[in-house]
Structure 1
Amino acid sequence: MNDHVAVVDLGYGDAGKGRVVDALCESGQVTAVLRFNGGAQAAHNVITEDGRHHTFAQFGSGTLRGVPTHLTRFMVVDPLALAAEARALGNPFSLLTVDGDALLATPWHRAANQRRELARGDQRHGSCGMGVGETMAYALSHPDAPRIADTLSPRRLRARLSAVRDELGDCGVLLQDAVDAYTAFAATVRIVGSEHTDRLLAQGPCVFEGAQGVLLDEWRGWHPYTTWSTTTFDNVTALCPSFRRLGVVRTYTTRHGAGPFVTEAPELEPDLPEAHNGRDEWQGAFRIGHFDAVAHRYAIEVAGGVDALAITHLDAPERCPGLRICPSYRIDGRTWNRIVPGPVRDLAYQEQISDKLRRACPDALYRPDDWAAEIAEILGSPVFLESHGPRSGDNFAAQLAGKTPLTNG
């Protein structure tokens, strides 16, 4: 691997980004994994060849390969959740750097997030309940919102945490306890400036690891059932002048939580069990459906295109004879094979798409002989990686006779 690579999920999340990042890091050539959106709500599963399993949230999915992680300025960092994840990994803090400009998620953000979601009753948006969205929302209206660099100054940190508590309400955590925990974090983790990203990129190939999926993007997803995060390649573009775009899809489409899902097919669930996904207290049910070519084509379009695909769960069609591909929708008596992107940051338009998708149903379903080749054809991109099972290693295979779109070779 000679180029920087950005890994983005072309669905609603859970497509297998962790496995893809781990596979890219297996070469031993990756300088670092850079996380460029989201926060502690991410859940990227990696199972190594010898069966070791970890669900990555803030650490990069190359950690089990010894690849360093850098949390960029676009991350929402939760030091308390990160400490818990580090313990499960054997405390690999020497592999971690954090941009001081990254937002700091606190227990007050988390509690406010959970209260807001509970107040929606049966109109929940599918929040993970980790406070990421609340942290982003608070920062939009408060220029002095706490950031990671504030953990280096206990006095400034205390003032900014106090302001968060006073506005969002008490959550049972003592202010001084939070100050102590975050200053201990600052003494443990290497906090760096924005120039550190440039240094990493200059040292060698890096992998940008995204969280969630394009169909949940804060501006391009089906509003209001979205995340407070830019899940396209936009943040990577702001950090890196040149990189290769790798889009990840499953052989079947999934969605965790509420929101439109045209190809949902609960009858497929018995043949497609999920070892690491299920009903969640905050997100709700893990939903399964036929491969939604219409939605994935839209994701590629609004993300600015992809250079190649990583297709996971290629073992699923054999286990699930009822699984199909949906190339178009039927809505109001007409066939609909393209979701037309609206103006950038037009949430009213995105809500109109949501309303339309609620009335849509699959127009035609078919089952291909070669799933990888068919998905590549209908999405208009070559396949770079294939996954035929849950573990790393030889479940992935470089395609195109050794000459892939992600290398210079």
Structure 2
Amino acid sequence: MPVTLVLGAQWGDEGKGKLVDILASSASMVCRAAGGNNAGHTIVVNGTTYDFHILPSGLINPSCKINLIGTGCVVHIPSFFKELKALEEKGLKGVRERILISDRAHVCFDLHGVVDGVAEDKSKSIEGGKGMIGTTRKGIGPCYSDKVARRGVTFWMLVNEEQRWEKRLRDLEAGYRKLYGDAALQGYDVEEEIKKLREYRSELQQYVVSQTPLLAQAVGGQGIATASSNGDATHQPNVLIEGANALLLDIDHGTYPYVTSSNTGLGGVFTGLAGLSPRALAAPGSNIVGVVKAYTTRVGSGPFPTELDASISEVDADYGERLQRVGREFGVTTGRKRRCGWMDLVLVKYSTAVNCYTQINLTKLDVLDDFEEIRVATAYKIDGEEQDTFPADLDALERVEIVYKTFKGWQKSTTGCKTFESLPQQAREYVEYIEREVGIPVKWIGTGPRREDMIMR
């Protein structure tokens, strides 16, 4: 029984949702392992654009019967229902019958969002603003902090009890008021949030499930029982795991502290989706797919060695602006402009070593169509010494000198190309170079925003 993991290989926004959408058409189950509605995937189908945040992208395919928000996730309940409603308004059928939430996932409160903003604003005064993380202000960090401090609220508490979760939320609010002061939280009313969540509780019960037996049954090859128009049916399982954010935003393996608050890599899959045996990845047809953008982008603060901006040269600033404009590089969740730079193979190789990719999906190749030259970072020099690994030391990253390989641009349209052979020769050479250097086959190549704009090799 195959299990496919789709993980971001850079700083997020690589285009994971499109591949998940394609693969979900043959999946019985699509799962989210970590993160919250700070994530963002955009999928374009028949001219309609769908934005996903906390919901698994498998909901766009009616044949995908189970979409699971796993234990490792944190869920803002109003956003969960708002997103379901938005999908229904765009014509998707049966989304509420195909979504489940682990009973061990944590609730992300409005309070967490308020506190997230307060903490980020306070960081502006640290080292002239260098202390800012650049969070989405969705409350993800404070929610995970409360989870680790053992004062959070899980979904089983919310739907099964009343006194405990209400007391916990009031205690959280009192603690944050003590920490930040009444003025900082003056726009927040804890009793109003409790009232709103009481109204959601009965409806939420239909979505909350025990995750471990569900996944254990699926990966054990016993089939997944799902409701259909013909009554109960058992489908041969094919599990698809949808990563959120990306490896360089992982709390342990990313550019700490400029990271998200969860494990976004391979390790987070197994902690966030208990019941999914690592042995399942040895099954025939199983793969770990690293999604790699044909250049590099980043949202928010933090180091970015190949970033193209005016501090390098006017030419480089122009290249960065062109990547941003042609690639439409705006965050799905925040709307912020993404910082843009060349492909960084040092970073991708590091990501590959951590996540053990077996295949690569190279996305947005078409964005490079009109460039006269295209560069790829092949190594770093730090204090004059060449490095072939991605350092943890952020001070070292600030001093890094990039070793580039320069390619002549193909300056022909690749948009909508269906086969590898139909790509311009220079584009094929670019893909083959990345494949050869990373040592992982490039299985898919994105050539446009639509579902069908994907080459499969």
TM-score range, shorter chain: 0.7 to 0.9
Q: 1:323 aligns with which of 374, 377, 383?
A: 374
Aligned residue in 1 for 2:82: 84
Whether 2:265 is the aligned partner of 1:232: answer yes
Q: 2:293 aligns with which of 246, 250, 263?
A: 250
- Give, in angstroms, the shift of residue 194 of structure 1: 2.6
Whether 2:382 is the aligned partner of 1:375: answer no
Secondary structure at the counterpart of residue 338 of structure 1? coil
Secondary structure at the counterpart of residue 397 of structure 1? strand
Whether 2:90 is the aligned partner of 1:38: answer no
CA distance in 2, matches of 1:381, 1:175: 48
Amino acid aligned to 2:441: P
Give TM-score, length-normalised by structure 2.
0.79
- Give, in angstroms, the shift of residue 330 of structure 1: 2.6
CA distance in 1, matches of 2:39, 2:442: 25
- Give, in angstroms, the shift of residue 185 of structure 1: 4.3
User: Could you tell me whether the CA contact under 8 Å between 1:151 and 1:182 is conserved in 2?
Assistant: no
Between stretches 249-258 and 331-340, larger displacement belongs to 331-340
CA distance in 2, matches of 1:302, 1:190: 32
Whether 2:450 is the aligned partner of 1:398: answer no
Between stretches 30-39 and 276-285, larger displacement belongs to 276-285
Secondary structure at the counterpart of residue 298 of structure 1? helix
User: Judging changes above 3 Å, is the alpha-carbon distance between structure 1 residues 283 and 229 closer, same or farther for their aligned structure 2 residues?
Assistant: farther
Give TM-score, length-normalised by structure 1.
0.87
User: Judging changes above 3 Å, is the alpha-carbon distance between structure 1 residues 188 and 274 closer, same or farther for their aligned structure 2 residues?
Assistant: farther
Aligned residue in 2 for 1:59: 55
- Give, in angstroms, the shift of residue 64 of structure 1: 1.2
Q: 1:269 aligns with which of 309, 320, 341?
A: 320
In the comparison of the two structures, how many residue pairs are matched?
381
1:102-181 to structure 2, matched below 5 A, reads 102-121=105-124, 122-123=129-130, 124-142=132-150, 144-152=151-159, 153-169=161-177, 170=185, 171-173=188-190, 174-181=192-199
CA distance in 2, matches of 1:185, 1:278: 34
- Give, in angstroms, the shift of residue 224 of structure 1: 1.1
User: Could you tell me whether the CA contact under 8 Å between 1:326 and 1:362 is conserved in 2?
Assistant: yes
Aligned residue in 2 for 1:344: none
Q: 1:298 aligns with which of 307, 332, 350?
A: 350
Aligned residue in 2 for 1:186: 204
Q: 1:96 aligns with which of 89, 96, 99?
A: 99
Unmatched segments (≥5 aa) in structure 2:
89-93, 178-184, 224-236, 282-286, 310-317, 409-425
Amino acid aligned to 1:253: T
CA distance in 2, matches of 1:382, 1:279: 28
Amino acid aligned to 2:7: V
User: Judging changes above 3 Å, is the alpha-carbon distance between structure 1 residues 20 and 115 closer, same or farther for their aligned structure 2 residues?
Assistant: same
List per-residue Cα deviations over 1:335-385 (Å, max 9, x = no partner): 222226xxxxxxxxx3xx211111113222311722221111111101121
- Give, in angstroms, the shift of residue 213 of structure 1: 0.8
User: Could you tell me whether the CA contact under 8 Å between 1:157 and 1:179 is conserved in 2?
Assistant: no
List per-residue Cα deviations over 1:266-303 (Å, max 9, x = no partner): 32234322666437997964100000001111111122
User: Could you tell me whether the CA contact under 8 Å between 2:381 and 2:402 is conserved in 1?
Assistant: yes
CA distance in 1, matches of 2:211, 2:22: 29
CA distance in 1, matches of 2:110, 2:69: 20
User: Could you tell me whether the CA contact under 8 Å between 1:9 and 1:15 is conserved in 2?
Assistant: yes
Secondary structure at the counterpart of residue 326 of structure 1? strand
Identical amino acids, percent of aligned pairs:
23
Between stretches 15-24 and 183-192, larger displacement belongs to 183-192
User: Judging changes above 3 Å, is the alpha-carbon distance between structure 1 residues 388 and 279 closer, same or farther for their aligned structure 2 residues?
Assistant: closer
Q: Which has the larger radius of gyration?
A: 2
User: Judging changes above 3 Å, is the alpha-carbon distance between structure 1 residues 198 and 279 closer, same or farther for their aligned structure 2 residues?
Assistant: closer
Unmatched segments (≥5 aa) in structure 1:
341-349, 400-409
User: Could you tell me whether the CA contact under 8 Å between 1:5 and 1:208 is conserved in 2?
Assistant: yes
Secondary structure at the counterpart of residue 365 of structure 2? coil
CA RMSD of aligned residues (A): 2.1
User: Could you tell me whether the CA contact under 8 Å between 2:155 and 2:208 is conserved in 1?
Assistant: no
User: Could you tell me whether the CA contact under 8 Å between 1:100 and 1:148 is conserved in 2?
Assistant: yes
CA distance in 2, matches of 1:279, 1:11: 15
User: Could you tell me whether the CA contact under 8 Å between 2:9 and 2:247 is conserved in 1?
Assistant: yes
Aligned residue in 2 for 1:309: 360
CA distance in 2, matches of 1:297, 1:262: 15
Aligned residue in 2 for 1:69: 67
List per-residue Cα deviations over 1:104-136 (Å, max 9, x = no partner): 100111111111011110121111111111111
